[in-house]
Structure 1
């Protein structure tokens, strides 16, 4: 209670100072007007501190993992204070790409071949000036997986690279086939159920730096792909740990939520057009196996997946594809430490579909569930340009695993 009162006083003082500088002379500058505004501000501050700002729920399959996170990744047990003027799920989701900065990153591109004759574009940030790890062979490597139509240019990816640079680590971004400007050499794109390309990338990166600590982080669909890979391959992965952010745990529940009228208008239709645009660039590669005119008439992600993705990867029905794509089915088989950050107000991943009970049964899994944050939002501070709660979780977790991960095996 004492902490709550202190938070309230601090927030009220900040609001008062802000209003003194911003409010114009006139009614709002008068004592009555200012009193009304301050009264409303205090009431809002009380509501915010009592109902919005909350500690995340930490769900782990082992007390040892929970203790490790409390000791070395304390952000997951601290109160998350969403941006006071933008804590609603859709607002957080929509505004993050426009509010947060885009750190400048110089990539080194590499195209690698796949078994079917295709190619995958990797964007490397080598961090050769790392003062902590001057020996490149020992420099920790973080593999980053963007979302559904994302690439290495997304702001959340750039922030992860910037934070990794501060830690002295090297990053490599796995761009899904055909989305980063490279040509498709075979009539195949990507989906979160098929992990063959990710397996190729993981093997390739590990073969280059076999002695370096190797971790991965996936965002949204990238996280779904990463979890499906970890669930399929089990303990055979060379990754020592992984983190996921805003994962869609159950593809059926995700689609149902995104097809609600407002969510369809704000998110679903736009993402569908992005998917259509990405495959239409390579239209000539698919005309023999897929009715592309029918694909281009899709009005939702589900319709796109039914007409294109499920056909591309040989699933009999869309339900077969969505069943195979849902990472909640494979969480029990994950064999390395994984931290999964989700917001329970994320319209892309409804809270009722988060596999809390399954996570409790796997000692390698930790779920961090915030009350607010939206989808890849997690904005905090008055003007959240430089950092988000998601960024802080990423930085503390990868650093904890690189520097203290050996402690987990001894707990």
Structure 2
């Protein structure tokens, strides 16, 4: 049979199959099964991987493997959504928001401003019935985030299960409170965080005190830890989806697709957050120019750098990058990043610096996006990030003393 005859016979066969029904013939089912098997093989061989654990000291690495095993287990991203941008965009929409009843507290700052703290006291804790010794977790949200973010609510829910108390540090002017001074916040200036940490520790000096920061909150936390070294009441800290080098972050977010999906939207959120307090800034900042910014870099150049007294945007971005201070961190810190995070490109992750500090451990997943880390078929309740958070804080509260003996 020649090629033309074979082609004709195949055409007649396919035409008949289509008439009797694509799926009914079994051809469609075979194709679906074949595609499913091929996709499963690709997923298991190329997508589902164990994270890379980079520990500056053998003792810390061994401690994490023993008491925080999730950092060495294979991470299985949601099979229908493992790409970086998809993970980043979907989490806020599909993640549940566990109900949390906060107790609000406003504290004063040295310059006359105020900071709003949201407390979850966990007075029903059965593991730590004595409030004075109940472990306290300080939570720092991202760039325009507050205590209402789903990732914060999940951390509180997990802390509640462990019997811990949580307090959320809302950046100035972000949680509905008035600005009393013409100042907001930035990840390079740690004065407000120092005030909050001193205040919380003074209330519960006998309680284990830990902190966790997400995205910009993690950058602020690392900059604080790098400045303080061992002179901090914090016992340990964790960060998630930190931007290590602000220049690299900005460059990545200014790529056309990333600008369209993330940069422009976040810029409008920043503009909205300061425009609510516009009357406080008009004497020192050209607010009309600020409202014309089309990117985070332009906003920072016209607003943030000016507010905090930097001569140029480069001066601010240099001071804001936590990779510069990682070598000075003096307490155990676990940092979870995904290498496909467009907010924090992989080439800027300070792996070599981390190897030189025995207090630092990096956990690097191949996928997960920015504050994504979705897993499961319909990931509403838990993410890989949540499991890392829970196991790490529990390990440090219950077994942290072992580190000093290793």
Q: Same fold (TM over 0.5)?
A: yes
1:125–1:16: structure 2 CA closer, same or farther, 3 Å change rule?
farther
1:94–1:16: structure 2 CA closer, same or farther, 3 Å change rule?
farther
Could you tell me how far 1:148 is from its partner in structure 2? 0.1
1:7–1:46: structure 2 CA closer, same or farther, 3 Å change rule?
farther
Could you tell me how far 1:34 is from its partner in structure 2? 1.1
Moved beyond 4 Å, runs of 4+: 6-26
* CA–CA distance in structure 1, aligned partners of residues 64 and 2 of structure 2: 25
Greater C-alpha radius of gyration: 2
* CA–CA distance in structure 2, aligned partners of residues 136 and 130 of structure 1: 9
SS at match of 1:122: strand
Hey, what does 2:198 align to over in structure 1?
203
Give me the CA root mean square deviation. 6.7
Check the 8 A contact 2:241/2:337 in 1, yes or no.
Answer: yes
* CA–CA distance in structure 2, aligned partners of residues 14 and 380 of structure 1: 46
Check the 8 A contact 2:17/2:25 in 1, yes or no.
Answer: no
* CA–CA distance in structure 2, aligned partners of residues 228 and 396 of structure 1: 24
Deviation string 1:339-371 (CA, Å, 9 cap, x unpaired) is 000000000000000000000000000000000
* CA–CA distance in structure 2, aligned partners of residues 385 and 67 of structure 1: 32
1:284–1:69: structure 2 CA closer, same or farther, 3 Å change rule?
same
* CA–CA distance in structure 2, aligned partners of residues 59 and 226 of structure 1: 20
1:140–1:7: structure 2 CA closer, same or farther, 3 Å change rule?
farther
* CA–CA distance in structure 2, aligned partners of residues 71 and 239 of structure 1: 22
Deviation string 1:216-251 (CA, Å, 9 cap, x unpaired) is 000000000000000001111000000000000000
1:318–1:49: structure 2 CA closer, same or farther, 3 Å change rule?
same
1:287–1:357: structure 2 CA closer, same or farther, 3 Å change rule?
same
Could you tell me how far 1:32 is from its partner in structure 2? 1.7
What residue ranges of structure 1 are gaps of 5+ in the alignment? 1-5
* CA–CA distance in structure 1, aligned partners of residues 387 and 183 of structure 2: 36
SS at match of 1:339: strand
* CA–CA distance in structure 1, aligned partners of residues 234 and 355 of structure 2: 22
1:317–1:360: structure 2 CA closer, same or farther, 3 Å change rule?
same
1:324–1:10: structure 2 CA closer, same or farther, 3 Å change rule?
farther
Check the 8 A contact 2:133/2:207 in 1, yes or no.
Answer: yes
What is the aligned length? 406
Deviation string 1:82-118 (CA, Å, 9 cap, x unpaired) is 0000000000000000111000000000000000000
Hey, what does 1:298 align to over in structure 2?
293
Hey, what does 2:164 align to over in structure 1?
169
* CA–CA distance in structure 2, aligned partners of residues 175 and 321 of structure 1: 22
* CA–CA distance in structure 1, aligned partners of residues 310 and 364 of structure 2: 33
SS at match of 2:226: helix
Hey, what does 1:353 align to over in structure 2?
348
Could you tell me how far 1:29 is from its partner in structure 2? 5.1
